[in-house]
Amino acid sequence: MSDNAESPTETQKDDPSIQHAATEHTGASDEKKKIDVLLKAVGDAPIMKTKKWSVERGRTVQSLAQFISRFLKLEASEQLFIYVNQSFAPSPDQEVGVLFECFGSDGKLVLHYCKSQAWG
Partner 1 sequence: MADDKDVLRDVWFGRIPACFTLSPEETTEREAEPYYLLLPRVSYLTLVTDKVKKHFLRVMKAEDSTEMWFEYEGTPLKWHYPIGVLFDLHASNTALPWNVTVHFKNFPEHDLLHCTSNSVIEAHFMSCIKEADALKHKGQVINDMQKKDHKQLWMGLQNDKFDQFWAMNRKLMEYPTDEGGFRYIPFRMYQTMGERPFIQKLFRPVSPEGHTLTLGDLLKELFPAAICAEDEPKRFQVMIHGIEPLLETPIQWLSEHLSHPDNFLHISIIPAPSD
Give me the residues that bind partner 1 (CB under 8 A), please.
58, 84-85, 87-93, 95, 98, 101-103, 120
CB of 38 vs partner 1, minimal distance in Å: 17
Task: Return d(Cα 51, Cα 111) in angstroms, integer.
Answer: 10
- State the helix-helix crossing angle for 61-71 and 96-103, rounded to 10 degrees: 100
- Cβ proximity to partner 1: between 19 and 85 the closer is 85
Q: State in angstroms the smallest separation of the CB of 8 from partner 1.
A: 25
State which residue, 20 or 57, has the beta carbon closest to partner 1: 57
7/105 with CB nearer partner 1:
105
Closest contact distance (angstroms) between CB of 4 and partner 1 is: 31
Question: What is the C-alpha separation between 76 and 88, in angstroms, rounded?
Answer: 24
Do 19 and 7 touch, CB atoms closer than 8 A? yes
Give the nearer residue to partner 1 in terms of CB position, either 20 or 40: 40
Please return the burial class of 24, using the count of CB atoms within 10 Å of its CB with bins 0-12, 13-18 and 19+.
Answer: exposed
